[in-house]
């Protein structure tokens, strides 16, 4: 990218949960080996720079971990505190989409303004939710939390692309959910794109092999092109659930559950 940012940011991925018993057929629409084990990590992301802290996604709660059979390593709130971030003091939280594992901890961010695409809110409160299949990745309590935030003047809607801090932009992608978005961040190693679930794994985008939880396959595939156009290279696109993230990037201090995405990958 030719544009030179005025501010660059530190970008962290913080793991708080794991889903070990998962096979490739659940992660790739066209698996090479249906039964190959392919676990998922659950992560929240944080960026810091220019005196600002922005968190992307709020993770899930202990109650939903139990209900949905995921292993919670710590609460997303604790993961952020391990990086020196107090959720109660975070001013801006980007909700990539409203799925249960991304919007489940809004109450930890008691003073934040939440950023959400209009299209995602319309999707998770609209007629599509009459279908149990489309409703399954949402938790009604999270949707109600978003409505409460709206009525408390703490929800900021976006329609497409928006700049929320110097150089930090949100981009509507769609495909996996009605109005899912990604976040583009200037760093010292170039433009990094936090993909959220617009690509769960590097294998999804690199193989043009969609994740099977999908509303619109064509839009998901077009989204891969958008992600590539926004990032400075394939390693600048950070998937939403890939266990390779923790293996490929440098840890923050001696905490192996937090890695620095603004530094070049080591593996």
Q: Identify the residue whose tokens are 């799925």.
A: 99
Cα–Cα distances (Å) from 54 to 8, 32, 58, 112, 131, in that order, read 13, 38, 11, 10, 34
41 part of the interface to Zn ion, by CB under 5 A: no
7 or 18, CB closer to Zn ion?
18
98-117 residues near Zn ion, rule: CB under 5 A: 99, 101
Report, in Å, the least distance between residue 217 CB and Zn ion: 15
Nearer to Zn ion, 103 or 168 (CB): 103
**Site track for Zn ion across 80-99, x = CB under 5 A:** -------------------x
Q: Quick one: 7 exposed, middle or buried, by C-beta within 10 A (0-12, 13-18, 19+)?
A: middle
- Find tokens 């609460």 and name the residue: 75
Interface residue with Zn ion among 10, 119, 120, 197 (CB under 5 A) is: 197
CA distance 100 to 117: 16
* Contacts of residue 154, Cβ cutoff 8 Å, sequence gap at least 6: 112, 113, 114
Nearer residue to Zn ion within complex by CB, 41 or 257:
41
C-alpha distance across the termini of the chain, in Å: 24
Q: Of the two residues 100 and 191, which places its CB atom closer to Zn ion in the complex?
A: 100
Provide, rounded to whole angstroms, the least separation between the CB of residue 173 and Zn ion. Answer: 12
Only segment of 21-29, 71-79, 113-121, 191-199 that touches Zn ion (CB under 5 A): 191-199
CA 102 to chain centre: 7
By CB under 5 A, how many residues form the interface with Zn ion?
3
Structure tokens at 220: 């998901």
The nearest distance, CB 98 to Zn ion, in angstroms, is: 9
Question: By C-beta, is 41 or 197 nearer to Zn ion?
Answer: 197
Quote the CA–CA distance of 147 and 155 in Å, as a whole number.
Answer: 8
Write out the residues near Zn ion by the rule CB under 5 A. Answer: 99, 101, 197
């Amino acid at each position: 990218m030719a544009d030179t940012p005025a501010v660059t940011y530190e970008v962290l991925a913080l793991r708080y949960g794991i889903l070990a018993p998962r096979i490739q057929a659940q992660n790739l629409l066209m698996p090479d080996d249906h039964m190959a084990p392919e676990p998922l990590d659950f992560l929240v992301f944080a960026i810091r720079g220019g005196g600002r802290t922005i968190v992307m996604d709020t993770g899930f709660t202990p109650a939903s971990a139990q209900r949905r059979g995921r292993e919670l390593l710590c609460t997303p709130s604790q993961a952020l505190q391990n990086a020196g971030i107090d959720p109660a003091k975070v001013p801006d939280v980007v909700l990539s989409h409203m799925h249960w594992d991304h919007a489940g901890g809004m109450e930890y961010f008691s003073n934040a303004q939440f950023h959400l695409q209009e299209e995602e809110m319309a999707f998770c409160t609209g007629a599509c939710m009459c279908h149990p299949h489309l409703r399954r990745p949402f938790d009604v309590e999270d949707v109600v939390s978003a409505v409460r935030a709206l009525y408390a003047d703490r929800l900021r809607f976006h329609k497409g692309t928006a700049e929320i801090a110097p150089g930090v932009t949100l981009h509507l992608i769609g495909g996996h959910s009605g109005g899912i978005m990604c976040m583009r961040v200037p760093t010292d190693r170039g433009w990094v794109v936090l993909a959220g679930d617009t690509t769960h794994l590097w294998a999804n985008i690199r193989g043009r092999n969609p994740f099977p939880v999908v509303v619109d396959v064509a839009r998901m595939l077009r989204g891969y092109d958008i992600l590539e156009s926004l990032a400075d290279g394939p390693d600048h696109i950070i998937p939403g659930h890939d266990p390779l993230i923790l293996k490929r990037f440098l840890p923050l201090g001696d905490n192996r559950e937090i890695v620095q995405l603004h530094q070049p990958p080591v593996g």
